Amino acid sequence: MKAMRTSKLLSLCGVWTLMVGLASAAQTLTMATEATFPPYEFLRGQEVVGIDVELSRAVAQRLNRPFAVENMDFDSVIPAVISGKAQLAASGITVTPDRKKNVDFSEPYVTTGIVAIYPKTTPYTAPEQLKGKKIGVQGGTTSDTYVLEQLKQEPERFKTTAEACAAMLAGRCAFVIADIAPAKNCVKGEARLALSGFLSSESYAIAVAKGQPELLAAVNATIAAAKADGRLAKWVDDYTAESDKLKEVAASSAEASAKSGVAAWLSAQWRALCDDVYLCFLKKAADGSSRGMYLVRGLGITLEVALASILLGLMLGFFVAVIRSSHDKYGYFPVMNAVAKVYLTIIRGTPMVVQLLITYYIILRSVDSKVLIAILAFGINSGAYQAEIMRAGIVSIDPGQMEAGRALGLSYWQTMLKIILPQAVRNVLPALGNEFIVLMKDTSIVGYIALIDLAKGGDIIRSQTYSVYLPYLTVAAIYLVLVMSFTWLLGRLERYLRNTGADPVHNDS
């Protein structure tokens, strides 16, 4: 009896496994990575390439599944496989006990280590030298942990190693600790920097969500095969060579320091700036588009997300404001009013970034369009603030306006839409405009869900060129121009309304 039950159970399990297997066969195998870690993963034009990408693609081929790459912040890579947004996390991830608690790791495919990068003016000789100094690292990496646990101090955290190196050259930290590959990349062509020996060594492996033995086995088999037939070695050579070429230091900057005289210095600076502009924005990448296109496409995304969420927020805001003010004044819509109050409390009580991440990882997990996710998250957020602004506008309108509308035979909603809201909007236009401006700039956090907007576009250019000032200053300038144009438009609208209508202060009309 018991035996029969077990066998039945086993056969059920078999069917279930088969079904899962069939279902997953058709599904895309998505790799989560942050493409700012050459030669393991980096952007070639719009395409993410590198050693990890080749390896993951080989896994997909082995499983006969379509393959896709998702480019996101390194901090999001492991959460992405846990939540099922991606199946493989391959981003030069070092195996650590903490990470092992949350995900399963493959056999290591590369063993590497962390080294110190130092300016040649203060040579590095022994690990004791690091103690008590300001150490730059890429946040969230093993270098970060090394400084915390081995040196027992807080590191200076940067988004990339290159940024940390730039900060070191600017005198903001004494040393930088980094993985050997990005460290080599930073030192290459930068005559002022040098590398130490390994401070510790570590292994990179691919992470998968727990409880997927078949997927893990396939990853391990792929790694073993790639090691055996020399493909892995070839990828390392090819991509190291390609990523080396990415880094181009403006040759003129070295010359500049040699010459003397103000005019020579100025002309050298001018040439350096021109070279920087060329490198950051104009130079054609492998796919024929220039880096400036990151900003152009990013601007498109920023505008799309900002404008659509402003509109969504306006509609939500109007609706909630009417519900709330109608309830407070006439006792209408008690249930909807309660819902609206919960909405306002939650949205205004939690940070925008957290709402964006919850929308992306939990609520809209199955939605593919990140633009849509961003529009919904920002629109719903802004709706709460716009609702309260609009409510203030509605409350400010003389009750006689509602009475006059109703006395003419208009319904409550007709009076609201045709008489109260147009006046309310005019009264709160400055406050609404302010909310629009805040929202437009707030969209710069969409990088958290791997959407490449204007801010993230600038960040990518910086990560590829190691030029810090120009990309960020340009991005800042574009935002400024956007906001100024918008403010100007709003000013025009206000003047237009003032000229056609009555002074909104005098409702006694």
Partner 1 sequence: MAETLLKIENLKKAFGNLEVLKGLSTEIKVGEVVVMIGPSGGGKSTFLRCMNLLETPTEGSILFEGVDIVKADEKTKNRLRSDMGMVFQHFNLFPHLSILDNITLAPRLIRGKSRAEAETEAMKLLARVGLESKAKAYPQQLSGGQKQRVAIVRSLAMEPKVMLFDEPTSALDPEMVGEVLDVMKDLAKNGMTMVVVTHEMRFARDVATRVLFLEGGRITAEGTPEEIFERPHEGRLGEFLGKVKGDQLADADIAHAILKAAEDGVITVSEVEEVLAEAKRREQKAKGGAQA
Point out which residues bind partner 1 (CB under 8 A). 398, 400-401, 403-411, 414, 418-419, 422-423, 426, 497, 500-504, 506-509
Least Å distance, CB 323 to partner 1, is 17
CB hemisphere CA count around 132 (13 angstroms): 2
DSSP state of 185: H
Q: Which is nearer to partner 1, 240 or 507 (CB)?
A: 507
Taking each helix axis from N to C terminus, what angle separates 469-500 and 454-465, rounded to the nearest 10 degrees? 160
State the nearest-atom distance from the C-beta of 419 to partner 1, in Å: 5
Residue number with CB closer to partner 1 (438 or 502): 502
Of 273 and 493, nearer to partner 1 (C-beta) is 493
Peptide bond into 119 cis (omega under 30): no
* Phi, psi for 171 (deg, rounded to 5): 85, 15
Q: Which is nearer to partner 1, 100 or 418 (CB)?
A: 418
Nearer to partner 1, 1 or 505 (CB): 505
Measured distance CA(365)–CA(385) in Å, rounded: 26
- Minimum separation from the CB atom of position 429 to partner 1 (A): 12
Location of structure tokens 């496989």: 81
* Bridge partners, residue 156, by sequence: 136
Rounded CA-CA distance 175/136 in Å is 6
In whole angstroms, give the CA distance from residue 122 to residue 261.
28
Q: Work out how close the CB of 507 gets to partner 1 at its nearest, in angstroms, rounded to a whole number.
A: 7
Residue spans of alpha helices (H) in 40-93: 51-63, 74-83
Minimum Å gap between C-beta 406 and partner 1 is 6
Closest to 268 (Cα-Cα) out of 280, 281, 259? 259
- Cβ atoms of residues 97 and 157 within 8 Å: no
Closest CA to 389 of 473, 317, 469: 317
Closest distance between partner 1 and the C-beta of residue 500, in Å?
Answer: 7
Taking the complex as a whole, how short is the minimal distance between the CB of residue 404 and partner 1, in angstroms? 4
Amino acid at residue number 395: V
- How near is the Cβ of 490 to partner 1 at its closest, in Å? 18
**From the CB of 342, what's the least distance to partner 1, in Å?**
28
Strand partners, 117: 176, 195
We find the least distance from the C-beta atom of residue 390 to partner 1, in angstroms, to be 16
Distance of closest approach, residue 492 Cβ to partner 1, in angstroms: 17
User: CB-wise, 253 or 507, nearer to partner 1?
Assistant: 507
In contact, 374 and 449? CB cutoff 8 Å: yes
Q: Tokens representing 136?
A: 């730059």
Quick one: 350 or 414, whose CB is closer to partner 1? 414
CB nearer to partner 1: give 269 or 509: 509
Which helix (H) or strand (E) segment holds residue 112: the answer is strand 110-119
Is 110 strand, coil or helix? strand
Nearer to partner 1, 288 or 331 (CB): 331
CB of 437 within 8 A of CB of 486? yes
Which is nearer to partner 1, 268 or 314 (by Cβ)? 314
Radius of gyration of the chain (CA): 28
* Nearer Cβ to partner 1 (303/410): 410
Contact 143, 181 (CB under 8 A): no
Least distance from partner 1 to the Cβ atom of residue 316, Å: 23
The nearer residue to partner 1, 390 or 470, going by C-beta atoms, is: 390
Nearer to partner 1, 180 or 497 (CB): 497
Q: How far is the CB of 330 from partner 1 (least distance, A)?
A: 11
**How far is the C-alpha of 223 from the C-alpha of 211, rounded, in Å?**
20
Strands of 8-71, DSSP E = 29-33, 36-37, 41-44, 47-49, 67-71
Nearest 5°: the CA angle 476, 351, 396 is 90
Q: Residue 458's closest CA among 449, 447, 373, 448? A: 447
